Amino acid sequence: MKILFLDTSSFFATVAIIEDGKIKYLFQEEIKDDMASRMLPVIQEGFNQVPFTVNDIDKIMVVNGPGSFTGVRIGVTIAKVLAWSIKKDIIPVSSLAFLATTKTASKYIIPMIDARRGYVYAGVYDQELNSVLADQYIAYDALKEYFEDGTIISQDDLPMATKPELDVLKMVTKYQNNEPVPCHSVNPNYLKKTEAEEKLEVKND
Amino acid sequence: MKNDVYILGIESSCDETSVSIVKNGEEDIATVVLSQMDTHANYGGVVPEIASRMHVENITMVIEECLNKANMTMDDITAIAVTYGPGLIGSLLVGVTAAKTLAYVYNKPLVPVHHIAGHIYANNLTKKMTFPLIALVVSGGHTELIYMKDNYSFEKIGGTLDDAVGEAYDKVARIVKVPYPGGPLVDKMSYQGEDNYDLPLPLDDDSYNFSFSGLKSAVINLVHNEEQRGHTINKEDLACSFQKRVVDILTKKTMRALEHYNVKNMIIAGGVAANSGIRTKFTELCASNGVDLTIPEFKYCTDNATMIAAAGFFAYEKGKRAGLDLKAKANTKLE
């Protein structure tokens, strides 16, 4: 089975091509403000380096959030249009689960993305990437009960956070048999409504 | 005999997700426009983040529906044209990313199209454009006079120094409390009123530039003063006076440009080309001055991918290509 893995949800991008549980191509790099123009050339380069084409891909695994709204949209748009083009389905996966592939000795792994004003996008996972607490938009302090037995993993400068070491293979192995989703139905999982929507809801209440 | 060229166009610069297939830059084979207007109406204007979100949700469905409607597959497509700017950056990004992905997978040429070039070439779907010509581009984001010596050659001879004409319409609509998008309603109301309000003719100078912020302020002040005096505003009369000033200055400067450049062809482009006051006055003036005027059909005035595919054909013929690193640009010059 051939899988294309994409994560553009943060400034640290991952593109990987996996065949039968082996990584055939891996791009992991910090991309500061050029994500939109870099991604397609990187994917093209990836398929230049493997002995098959993008049309041979069986599944596309894409990180659909949470994270940078724009970043998430780049990956999800590529995944959707690619899946539509090669008539294959998509497995959307969580950016927080991907952070939680980082090796730690703790019982809990607490991946976090800074959402500012004391809030984070976070979840709690165990060593096998099982979800202990679902991904959500939550106050940093509200997760305190997990801190003693847990390690906080984040790309951002959050208190007590350890930098991630992303394990693509662990991610793909864990989720490759998830129910695939047809391209039209795959959407970003922002975990947060837009400010305009929030204000309108307050007004209508 | 030259082969027919089928361009698949993608437009997502604001709040319409649109895909179209156009043959040889002049024949609309199939067009799908998914407008988000009803959603944004809840907020009194386009919310960029919501627009971006909706583009992602809908993009593959719109592509598929367009091909189904045309009864074609991607193999029948010669090249892919996409609006790369100007517009809302987050919105543009979705269309550009989708276009690049299609170009990559199907190994098709990618043609970057400026949004205004699209509006201009909407006219080629109505009638084959003849050169040289003067194009008046009027929309919610643009007010420009462009001299075109030949196909895909754009020389800007004037433009707005502040608000775009469509923007001025929407702001006036808000002042007189007409719901979003108010521009078309102000146009309609103006026919029920008379030019009874004393509003200034904006930037009436020798240049080909426009300025509508002064006119907008004059409307605000007038409404404010009348309210202070306890008078009620006759909205229809105000709409009429406002529209008359706008139409007067647009026609005055455009007709002078036609004379100065000795050009006998004129086109109007952009969303405000749907404005009946502008259509009527230009039709009259061009007829009496021997100028051949083209205005796009109503459906091609607002944002759509048909015009992008039409412009894309001429860009393609001129050899314009983009790589897979094409960037969306919020602001970019027409060239």
CA dist., res. B134 & res. B264, Å (int) = 8
- Residues from chain A that touch B60, judged by Cβ atoms under 8 A, are 80-81, 83-84, 183-184
Residue the block writes with tokens 């404005």 = B275
Confidence (pLDDT) at A33? 78
pLDDT band at B1 (very low <50, low <70, confident <90, very high): low
Asked, for residue B194, whether it belongs to a domain, the answer is yes
What is the model's pLDDT at position B5?
A: 98
Examine residue B327 and state whether it is found in any structural domain, yes or no. no
B95-128 pLDDT, tens digit each? 999 999 999 999 999 999 999 999 999 999 999 9
The residue with tokens 């809302």 is B88
Cα separation, B297 vs B127, in Å, equals: 10
One domain, residues B239 and B269:
yes
Structure tokens at B326: 């094409």
Q: Closest chain B residue to A56 measured between Cα atoms?
A: B105
Residue A155 sits at φ, ψ, to 5 deg, of -75, -20
Give me the residue from A40, A82, A84 closest to B64, CB to CB: A84
Distance CA B220, CA B233 (A): 11
Tokens representing residue B130 in the block: 């003849």
* Average confidence (pLDDT) over B177-204: 91
Per-residue model confidence (pLDDT) at position B304: 97
The whole-number pLDDT of residue B59 equals 98
Domain map of chain A by residue range?
2-94+167-192, 97-162
CATH at residue B100: 3.30.420.40
Chain A contact for B185 (CB, 8 A cutoff): no
Same fold, A2-94+167-192 and A97-162: yes
Cα–Cα dist B335/B333, whole Å: 6
* DSSP character string of A27-88: EEEE-SS-HHHHHHHHHHHHHHSSSS-GGG--EEEEE--SS-HHHHHHHHHHHHHHHHHHT-
ipTM score here? 0.97
- For chain A, the straight-line distance linking the first and the last C-alpha, in angstroms and rounded, comes to 50
Question: Is the CB of B330 inside 8 Å of chain A's CB atoms?
Answer: no
Residues B107 and B194 in one domain: no
Give DSSP secondary structure letters for B44-58. TS--HHHHHHHHHHH
Q: Based on the fold, state whether residues B203 and B91 are members of the same structural domain.
A: no
Q: What mean pLDDT do residues B268-297 have?
A: 96
pLDDT of residue B104: 98
**Orientation of helix B235-260 relative to helix B183-190, angle to 10°:** 100
Residue B333 lies in a domain: no
* B56 lies in the same domain as B11: yes
A74 CA: distance to closest CA in chain B (Å): 7
Residue bearing tokens 């992905």 = B101
- A78's CB contacts (< 8 A; 6+ apart) are A6, A8, A39, A40, A43, A62, B97, B101
- pLDDT on residue B181: 77
Is the pLDDT confidence value at A195 over 80? yes
Q: Is residue A107 within 8 Å of residue A126, measured between CB atoms?
A: yes
Q: Which residues of B touch A184 (CB under 8 A)?
A: 60-61, 64
Residue B81: strand pairing partners: B9, B111
Looking at the DSSP bridge assignments, the partners of residue B326 are: none
Predicted pLDDT of residue B159:
95
Give the pLDDT confidence of A59-93 residue by residue, as tens digits.
Answer: 999 999 999 999 999 999 999 999 999 999 999 99
| CA nearest to B327 within chain A | A37
Q: Is residue B332 part of a domain?
A: no
- Considering only the beta carbons, identify the residue of A55, A74, A196 that sits closest to B97: A74
How deeply is B73 buried, as exposed, middle or buried, from its count of CB atoms within 10 A (0-12, 13-18, 19+)? exposed
Same domain, B90 and B143: no
Is B267 found in the same domain as B154? yes
The answer to whether B85 touches B331, Cβ cutoff 8 Å, is: yes
Of A38, A85, A194, the CB nearest to B49: A194
pLDDT digits 0-9 by tens, A4-57: 999 999 999 999 999 999 999 999 999 987 899 999 999 999 999 999 999 999
Residue B157 domain flag: yes
Predicted TM-score (pTM) of this structure: 0.95
Nearest to B239 by CA among B316, B280, B187, B281: B187
Of B82 and A202, the one with more pLDDT = B82
Q: How much is the pLDDT for B234? A: 94
pLDDT beyond 90 at B32: yes
The token pair that represents B172 in the structure block: 């006036």
Q: CA B271 to CA B268: how far, in whole Å?
A: 10
Asked whether residue B108 falls in the same domain as residue B149, the answer is no
The contacts of residue B64 (CB under 8 Å, 6+ apart) are: A84, A184
Nearest CB to A73; choose among B52, B60, B324: B52
Number of domains chain B is built from: 2
d(CA A118, CA A126): 24
Inter-chain contact A40–B324, Cβ cutoff 8 Å?
Answer: yes
Q: Is residue B322 part of a domain?
A: no
The token pair that represents B152 in the structure block: 């895909």
Residues B47 and B157 grouped into a single domain: no
The residue length of chain A stands at 205
Q: Which long-range contacts (CB under 8 A, 24 or more apart) does B154-158 make?
A: B154/B116, B154/B117, B154/B120, B154/B334, B154/B335, B156/B333, B156/B334, B157/B208, B157/B257, B157/B261, B158/B207, B158/B208, B158/B209, B158/B210, B158/B253, B158/B257
Nearest-CA distance A188 → chain B (Å):
8
In chain A, the residue whose alpha carbon lies closest to the alpha carbon of B62 is A184
B203: which residues sit within 8 A by CB, 6+ positions away? B161, B209, B210, B211, B214, B249
Residue B27 is assigned to a structural domain of this protein:
yes
Mutation pick from B15, B60, B82 vs chain A, by most beta carbons of A within 10 Å, is: B60
> How much of chain B exceeds pLDDT 70, in percent?
100
Tell me the shortest Cα–Cα distance from A76 to chain B, in angstroms: 8
Question: Residue B299: which of B139, B178, B125, B181 has the closest Cα?
Answer: B125
Spatial neighbors of B151 by CB under 8 A, at least 6 apart, are: B129, B131, B314, B317, B318
| pLDDT range class, residue B56, cuts 50, 70, 90 | very high
Q: Which residue of A has its CA nearest to B51?
A: A194
Q: What is the pLDDT of residue B273?
A: 94
Q: A7, A3, A5: which is closest to A164 by C-alpha?
A: A7
User: Which residues 41-80 in chain B show a CB within 8 A of chain A?
Assistant: 42-43, 47, 49-50, 52-53, 56-57, 59-61, 63-64, 74
* Class of the domain covering A2-94+167-192: alpha beta
Taking each helix axis from N to C terminus, what angle separates B165-175 and B213-228, rounded to the nearest 10 degrees? 10
* Residue B312 belongs to domain spanning: 6-121+300-317
Is residue A131 scored above 90 in pLDDT?
A: yes
Top-tier CATH class for A97-162: alpha beta
Structure tokens at A90: 């998509």
Does residue B335 lie within any of the structural domains? no
DSSP, res B192: T
pLDDT for A81 equals: 98
Q: Which of A36, A183, A194 sits opposite B60 (nearest CB)?
A: A183
Distance CA B187, CA B173 (A): 10
Residue pair B64/B19 in contact (Cβ under 8 Å)? The answer is no
Q: Are B187 and B173 in contact (CB under 8 A)?
A: no
